[in-house]
Amino acid sequence: MEVSKFITMSTGDFIDFKVKRSYDELILKVKPNIVEGDDGLGNKINKRMVGIKLGAYNNKVNHVKLGPAQALYHAGYEVYFVSVSSLKYIGGMILGKADTSQLGGPIRIAKISGQVATFGVLAFISMMAYISISLGLINLFPIPMLDGGHLMFYAFEKVLGRPLSQKNSRRFFFESDCFCCYH
């Protein structure tokens, strides 16, 4: 699953694979093919393919029960993975390397949520967790109207050692000096 996620979320032209053969480790540079397909839910997507197929071993999915410490570790790893993947995707979009056809608003999220819900409660909750992590991360960006903007504002005040004037704080948060829209 990790290899599949890594291939899907990669944005570079080539992917480095470290392969262990006997006692030697080889680094293979693989250029993924971009293939149009569907995501299993009926949505058209561009998939990055390298010739590896993910499948259940002996057609059986093996569920492993985790203790509390292991569950926390794996949850932390998933948060880290989703955060890094989201940042890489955003960086790829800025650089023009990421596929922006996968973006969607609330209607697309609702559509995909309904489709994922047919796979069960666990799949639906997992998808909602991924969306929450991504939105939480984006909310921390230093954009004035987001929480990250407020944190940046507080950092400025801490560095200056005093509160910013009301005029400067209004400029920072793009507020106007009047309370009406028409004069």
Predicted local confidence at residue 40, as pLDDT? 66
Of 67, 98, 85, nearest in space to 138 by CA? 85
The half-sphere exposure of 10 on its side-chain side, counting CA atoms within 13 A, is 21
The half-sphere exposure of 16 on its side-chain side, counting CA atoms within 13 A, is 4
Positions of the chain with pLDDT lower than 50, given as ranges:
180-183
Task: Give dist(CA 49, CA 157) in Å, integer.
Answer: 49
Predicted local confidence at residue 58, as pLDDT? 65
Answer yes or no: are the C-beta atoms of 32 and 10 closer than 8 Å: yes
Give every CB contact of residue 174 below 8 A, 6+ residues apart in sequence. 144, 145
Domain ranges of the chain: 104-169
Predicted local confidence at residue 181, as pLDDT? 47
pTM: 0.57
Predicted local confidence at residue 182, as pLDDT? 43
Predicted local confidence at residue 69, as pLDDT? 94
Predicted local confidence at residue 76, as pLDDT? 93
